[in-house]
Structure formats: structure tokens, C-alpha cells
Amino acid sequence: MLVFAASDKGGTGRSVTSANLAYHHALDGSDVCFLDFDFGSPTAATVFDLPDVPAEAEGTGLHAYLRGAANEPLRIDVWSRTEHLDLRDRPAGSGRLVLVPGDRSGGEFVTGEEHLHRCVDLILRLHREFDVIVVDLSAGRSYAVDLVLAATSPRGGLAGLKHRWLVFHRWTRQHVAAAAELAFGPRGIVQAGAAMGHEPDVLRAAIRFVRAAVPDLESPPWSHVTPAQYAWMRHCDSTLETLASTRGVGRTWTLASIPLEPVLQWQERLITIEDVYDRQIANQATWDALIGLAQQLTDDTLWGER
């Protein structure tokens, strides 16, 4: 399955949440590949704790591959290369977890057939080898978004592959509106896809939203504020919920809400079970939400099937 992780803006926790999603699928026994299509600022190497990879990826990363400067993009086995102590011992029953890192080399893309072919060839190849392929796309209606839309369009070559879109957004007025705009707006994913030959209804059915960094008003510190503050926040929350549902970003179309997690505020990283139970630095609710997201992503009953 192909999973495209998109977001309206930067700083929505898209990269870190989708990397955690990939990690959970690998823990579950699936063979997972994470493609860093965030061409402006590749961050996956940081999230997976691979400090040497950015230097190694210069000239051999995804950007170089798509431009034709490298014949095959670099592949990094996360379990064996990561410096994250909890990840060093690959858990029993886990699947492969491979990162195809991005690189900063070279200038901007010129959209062209050649990139499209190279992108399609790469994904077809990875699709043979991996159960889940997570593609982390640059924020906004970016070149990366257009590239995968073209690749999955009827003439692109990936139309036959099962693919799902996750649009990440934070829980604020502006982010909710922007996420709706990115998905359904006049310059959004559905419209752009339709122009490339996608069936708008099918594409719409393949998009779900993920709320990131959502404050849980029933747990500390939010439940410990003054009554006036609490009442105001409740009001904001319900106003946001109304706004979201009128824009098509409501609960029905939301796959998961990832709570505001202190660990992720300080560090872009994978949350491990040790973080939750041994060190007790990460919240159980975050762990549970990530498991929920991973399960719902592959639960066909929640997705209007193609």
C-alpha cells in the first residue's frame, strides 16, 4: 500500500507522525519503506536518528535520483543504522524498515516526464519489496504532491496500486481551513488530480485527515487551568469542530487525533514503548493514538474502497 503524507503548512508534525506511523507498521511485522519526498527540507534522517545519513545522501538521495544524477537512490536499513538506543535491537517479529533519504543537492525541479518515469519506476520496484510505502511530501500544494498525483493518475503508471492520502494539520482555525483548502480547494489535491485524469470521487474517498498536536482538555496541563481559561478552550474546541465539519475535515474524515506530546515538542523522534513505560517521558495516550492511526490506515472498512 502507498501512503502519501501531505500537509497544508510546515510544522504540522507531518514528518514526525508519518515516521512514527511507518515505525508502528514495521513493529507489527510489515515490511515498510519511508520515502523522504520533502524536497525543501529532508528531515526523516533526524527523526529516525541517522546522523550520518544527510551527508551520505548528498548526490545519492531521492532528489539526485529523480534528476537522473544517481542511478539508484540510497537505501538505509533503519534497524541496523539508527543511533536510537531502543531501535538498535530489532524487535522480534518486526518487518524491515528502510529509509530512502532525501538530499538537498541541486536546484529546483523542472517538472518533466523524465522525473515522472523515474518516480514510477522507483515506486513500482519498492512496491514489490514492501507492504507499506510511506511517502512524506513537501508541505502545501508542492511539486512533490503534483508528482505523485501524476504518477497515480490513469496515465501515470501507478494507478493500479492501492494508495491513500493522509493530510496532517494542527488543531487551530488557520490550520483547519488550510488543510481543507489543500484537499478540496480550487488549487487542492482533488482538483489538481481531476485535471490529471483522476476520478474526483475516488480521490476524495482516498483522503483522510490526521490532527496533530491536539491539546487534550481532559488531561494535564490543560485540565489544571482556571475555570475561565477552561471554558474558553472548550468553546474554541467546539467552534473548531464545527468549522472542521463544515469544511469537510470533520470527525468522519479524521483518521486520528495525535495528542500534544511533550517529547515531540522538544525533539523530532520516534516514540518507543520504552519512552512510555521505562523512562515515562512520553504519554500513553500518544502511543495509543499512533497505534490507532496505524490500524485505521490499513482497515479497509474505514475507507471507501476503489
Partner 1 sequence: MSRTGRDPHPVIACGEVRTCLLPTRDALDERAAVKLLRLRPDERVRVSRHPNRYVVSPEVLTGVDCPLPTDTGARVRAVGTVGSHASLVEGRVIQATASFSLPAVGTDRRQAWSYYLVRPGSLVPVGQLPQRALVRGFLLGHRPGRLDVGSIAESVLARISRQDRILDHDPPLTAADTRLRWTAVRTAAGEEPSSLFTKGEDGLRTLELSLPSGLPPTAAVGLCEELALHDWLLTTVADKLDGLPTGAADDRAVLRVLRPLVDHLLHLWMPRARVDRVLQTVWNQLEETPGYSRQWTAHAQRIRDQLALRAIHLRDEVPGRR
The distance of closest approach from Cβ of residue 278 to partner 1 in the complex, given in angstroms and rounded to an integer, is 24
The distance of closest approach from Cβ of residue 84 to partner 1 in the complex, given in angstroms and rounded to an integer, is 19
Let me know: does 101 contact 19? Beta carbons within 8 Å: no
**Strand 2-7 relative to strand 97-100, pairing:** unpaired
| Closest CA relative to residue 130, chosen from 101, 165, 161, 98 | 98
**By C-beta, is 132 or 289 nearer to partner 1?**
132
**By C-beta, is 53 or 264 nearer to partner 1?**
53
Rounded to an integer, what distance in angstroms lies between the CA atom of residue 102 and that of residue 143? 14
**By C-beta, is 60 or 138 nearer to partner 1?**
60
**By C-beta, is 124 or 285 nearer to partner 1?**
124
- Contacts to partner 1 by CB under 8 A: 31, 59, 70-72, 75, 77, 80, 92-93, 96, 120-121, 124-125, 127-131, 157, 159-161
**By C-beta, is 58 or 274 nearer to partner 1?**
58
**By C-beta, is 75 or 251 nearer to partner 1?**
75
CB atoms closer than 10 angstroms to residue 130: 23
The distance of closest approach from Cβ of residue 252 to partner 1 in the complex, given in angstroms and rounded to an integer, is 29
The distance of closest approach from Cβ of residue 55 to partner 1 in the complex, given in angstroms and rounded to an integer, is 15
DSSP 3-state of 306: coil
Sign of CA dihedral 151, 155, 159, 164: positive
CB atoms closer than 10 angstroms to residue 274: 14
The distance of closest approach from Cβ of residue 275 to partner 1 in the complex, given in angstroms and rounded to an integer, is 24
- Joined together, the cell numbers standing for residue 97 give 524498515
The distance of closest approach from Cβ of residue 282 to partner 1 in the complex, given in angstroms and rounded to an integer, is 27
DSSP 3-state of 278: coil
Rounded to an integer, what distance in angstroms lies between the CA atom of residue 228 and that of residue 289? 29
Rounded to an integer, what distance in angstroms lies between the CA atom of residue 72 and that of residue 150? 21
**By C-beta, is 124 or 263 nearer to partner 1?**
124
The distance of closest approach from Cβ of residue 64 to partner 1 in the complex, given in angstroms and rounded to an integer, is 10
**By C-beta, is 1 or 194 nearer to partner 1?**
1
DSSP 3-state of 267: coil
Who contacts 224 (Cβ-Cβ below 8 Å, separation ≥6)? none
Could you tell me which residues are beta bridge partners of residue 100? 35
Rounded to an integer, what distance in angstroms lies between the CA atom of residue 132 and that of residue 243? 33
DSSP 3-state of 98: strand
The distance of closest approach from Cβ of residue 48 to partner 1 in the complex, given in angstroms and rounded to an integer, is 16
